[in-house]
Structure 1
Amino acid sequence: MTRCTLHASARLDTAKLIDGKKLSAEISEEVKQEVDDWMLKGNRRPHLSVVLVGDNPASKSYIKSKTNGCDKVGIDSKTHVLSDAITQDELLAFVDNLNKDDGVDGILVQLPLPKHMDERTVCNAVVPSKDVDGFHALNVGRFCLNDNAFLPATAAGVMEMIYRYKIPTFGKHAVILGRSKNVGMPIMMMLHSDGSGDATATICHRYTPPEQLLINTKMADILVVAVGIPGLIKADMVKPGAAIIDVGINRITGPDGKQRLVGDVDFEGVSKVASYITPVPGGVGPMTVAMLLKNTIAAAKKIYKY
Structure 2
Amino acid sequence: LPAGSLSLAAPSTQSCHLCHCPFYLSLVQNEAVVISEVQQEVEEWVVLGNKQAHLSMVLVGENPASHSYVLHKIRPASEVAINSDATVTVSHQYTPKEQLKKCTVLAEIVISAVGILNLITADIIKEGAALINVGINRVQDPILSKAKLVGDVDFEGIRKNANYITPVWGVGPMTVAMLMKNTIIAAKKVLRLEKRKVLKHGVTTNQLLCFLS
TM-score (norm 1): 0.35
TM-score (norm 2): 0.48
- Structure scoring higher RCO (CA < 8 A, sep ≥ 6) equals 1
Q: Considering fraction of residues, name the structure with more strand.
A: 1
Q: Considering fraction of residues, name the structure with more helix.
A: 2
